[in-house]
Chains A and B, each alone.
Chain A
Amino acid sequence: MSFLRAFKYRRKDTVVHRLDPRSKFMLSIVLMAISVVFTDIRVLLALVSGQLILLFLAESLREWFSSLRGLVFFFAVIFATQLLFGGSFFTGVVLSLRLLALSSSMSWFFLSSTPEDIGRAMSVAGFPVELTFSFTMAIRFIPVIYDEFQSIYDTQRSRGLELEKGGFRNRIRNLMPILIPLLVGTIRRTYEIADAMEVRAFGASPKRTTYRPLRLKGGDYLLFAASIILVSAAACLKLLGVE
C-alpha cells in the first residue's frame, strides 16, 4: 500500500500548492493522456522528467520516491508478463516507464491539492454539491478508517487472533473479527455525520456560498498555456509518426 503515499495530500506552502486545483487538474489530465497515447521511450522519459520538476517544486520528491517501493510489485508483474508471453525486456522497460508516468501525472496533483480544493473545483465544474461533498468526505475519512482498522486489529491480536495462522480459508475467516467491528463503526459514523450535517442545515438552501472562492492567478494561466502547448506538441509528434 506504500504507493498510495504518493497520492496523499501533504500540507506545504509551495508554488505548486498555491495553484488553483482546476489548472493543476487540467495539466494532470494532459500528462496522463500523453503517457497513455505514446510508447516512445524518449517521450515517456521527457514526461517523467517534467513531472519530477513539478514534484520538486511541490517539495514532494521524498514522498514520490518512498511510494516507488509500492510500485516495484507492479513493475515485476509487467516484466514477468513480458518474459512469459514472448515480449522483450525493452518493452518491459517502456511499459514500466509508462506506468510511472501515468501514476506520477496524478501524484503531484493529489500531493499538492486538499480534498476540499478538489471538491470545490468539481463544484465549479458543475457537479452537484451532494456528490462533491461525498467525494471530499470519502477522501478525508480514509485515514480515520485506517486508524480504526489498526486499533481493531491490535485489539483482536491482544485476544490471541493470529491472522497469519492456518490455510487460505482460515485466514479469510480470521478477517471477520476485524471487518465486522470496522463495518459497524463505519456505518454508525455515517449516521452520526449525516445527523451532524443536518443539524447544521446541510442542503437547506439550494444556493450555497463559498468561504474561499477559487480564483485563477498568473501561475494558473501559465499551467493552462502549458497544457495547450503540450497537447499541440503531442499532436505534432503523432503527425510526424512518433509512436
Chain B
Amino acid sequence: MVKIVVENLYYRYPEALDYALKNISFRIEEGESVAILGENGAGKTTLAKNLNGLLKPTEGSVKIDGVDTRSLSVAKIARKIGFVNHNPEHQFFAEKVEDEVRFGLRNFGFSEKEADKIIQEVLSVFGLEEYRGRNPFQLSGGEKKRLAIASIMAWRPEALIVDEPTIGMDYAQKLNIRRVLRSIVSEGRCVIVITHDVDFAASICERAIVLSRGEVIGDGRLRDLLSDDKLVEKSSLRKPFLIELEEETGLTGLEEDFDAISSILMEVFQKCRS
C-alpha cells in the first residue's frame, strides 16, 4: 500500500507573486483516512494536486513510496493515487455510464474481458448497475459523484483523493457517498478527503490536516483539532455537530454512535421534507 511523504513543500503558481503553499511537511501512512480542511483559498486543492503529481513542487518534495513526484508521470502516479475532481462533469464524455468506467481501465492497459468484469463489480458496489446504459449527464448529482469515484476506483488505486465530495448534495446523497468512502477505508486503502464539510469529514476520517493561507496550522486527530476553539476560528471552520452536541449536553461517546444518530437525523429530515 502507498505511503506519501511531503517535505518542506512550497508551491507557487506561474506568474503568482506569493506562494500558494508554504513549508508543508507531513507523512500519510498506508490505510490512513485524512481530511484536508481549511477556508476557501487555503490551498487544499493545490495541495491535493501536488500529492497526485498534477502540480510539481516549486521547492521541497512530495514522495510516493519513496519516489519524488518530479520523476513520475501523472499517469504513473494516478495508477497508485486516484483523484476525483470536485465537479464530476469535468470528467464525463462517454455516452454510457459503463464506458465512463471503461475509460481509465483502457488507459491503464486492462483487457476488454477484465474491464467487463470490473465494470460489473464496480457498478454493483457503487449502486449504479441500473444506470449502466444511461448517459452520465442524465444522472442526479449524487449519482454523478458516485460514478466519478467508481470510474477511479475501477483500477483499484491504493489511495484516493476526493475533492469536495459533498458540494451541492442533499443529506441522503451525502450518506451514500459516505458509505462508499467508508467501504474504501475499510478495505485498508488510504482516503484523503478535501472538504469544508466538517461533519462529513468527521464521519470518515480519523486524522485532519488543517490549512490556512497555504500553511499547515494543525495536523493530528480530527476530533482533537476541531475541539480547539482557536484553531476552528482561525481556519474559518466550525465544530462538527457531534462535538457541539457533546459539549452542549455533556454526553460523551456520541462519535461511536454516529450511524445511529445519523439514522435518527435522516428520519427527522425525511419527515420534515414530507
Q: Which of A100-108, A178-186, A197-205, A212-220 contacts B (4 or more CB under 8 A)?
A: A178-186
- Tell me if B57 is interfacial: C-beta within 8 Å of chain A: no
Provided the pairs A151-B87, A181-B89, A181-B90 are in contact, do residues A158 and B52 lie with their beta carbons within 8 angstroms?
yes
CB of B107 within 8 A of CB of A185, answer no
Provided the pairs A158-B54, A159-B151 are in contact, do residues A151 and B74 lie with their beta carbons within 8 angstroms?
no
Interchain nearest-CB distance for A59 vs B (Å): 16
Q: Within 8 Å CB of A134, what residues of B?
A: none
- Tell me if B140 is interfacial: C-beta within 8 Å of chain A: no
Q: Within 8 Å CB of A151, what residues of B?
A: 85, 87, 90
Please report the number of residue pairs spanning A and B whose Cβ atoms sit closer than 8 angstroms. 63
Q: Within 8 Å CB of B73, what residues of A?
A: 162
* Cβ-closest chain A residue relative to B88: A155
* Cβ-closest chain A residue relative to B95: A180
Provided the pairs A151-B87, A184-B137 are in contact, do residues A157 and B78 lie with their beta carbons within 8 angstroms?
yes
Question: Which residues of chain B (79-98) have a CB below 8 Å from chain A?
Answer: 79, 82-83, 85, 87, 89-93
Question: Which residues of chain A (139-176) have a CB below 8 Å from chain B?
Answer: 148, 151-152, 154-162, 176
Interchain nearest-CB distance for B87 vs A (Å): 7
Provided the pairs A154-B54, A154-B85 are in contact, do residues A159 and B90 lie with their beta carbons within 8 angstroms?
no
Question: Which residues of chain B (45-90) have a CB below 8 Å from chain A?
Answer: 49, 52, 54, 73-75, 78-79, 82-83, 85, 87, 89-90
Q: Within 8 Å CB of B89, what residues of A?
A: 181, 184-185
- Tell me if B104 is interfacial: C-beta within 8 Å of chain A: yes
The distance in angstroms between the C-alpha atoms of A156 and B82, with both chains bound, is 11
Contacting B92 at CB < 8 Å: which of A148, A154, A157, A181? A181
Q: Within 8 Å CB of A87, what residues of B?
A: none
Q: Within 8 Å CB of B185, what residues of A?
A: none
Interchain nearest-CB distance for A155 vs B (Å): 4
Mask, B129-163, CB within 8 Å of A = 1, is 00000000100000000000001100100000000
Contacting A159 at CB < 8 Å: which of B49, B87, B91? B91
- Tell me if B108 is interfacial: C-beta within 8 Å of chain A: yes
The distance in angstroms between the C-alpha atoms of A180 and B99, with both chains bound, is 14
Which size bracket describes the interface of A in this complex? Answer: 10 to 19
Provided the pairs A151-B85, A177-B103, A184-B137 are in contact, do residues A157 and B90 lie with their beta carbons within 8 angstroms?
no
Contacting B49 at CB < 8 Å: which of A154, A162, A184? A154
Contacting B91 at CB < 8 Å: which of A155, A162, A176? A155
Question: Which residues of chain B (91-127) have a CB below 8 Å from chain A?
Answer: 91-93, 103-104, 107-108
Of listed B92, B151, B155, residue having the most chain A CB within 10 A? B92
The distance in angstroms between the C-alpha atoms of A232 and B92, with both chains bound, is 59
* Cβ-closest chain A residue relative to B74: A157
* Cβ-closest chain B residue relative to A148: B90
The distance in angstroms between the C-alpha atoms of A105 and B151, with both chains bound, is 50
Q: Within 8 Å CB of B85, what residues of A?
A: 151, 154-155, 158
Contacting A158 at CB < 8 Å: which of B74, B87, B92, B93? B74
- What would 14 A/B residue contacts be, using CB atoms closer than 8 Å? A152-B91, A154-B54, A155-B83, A158-B54, A158-B74, A158-B83, A159-B103, A159-B151, A160-B155, A162-B73, A178-B93, A184-B89, A184-B92, A185-B89
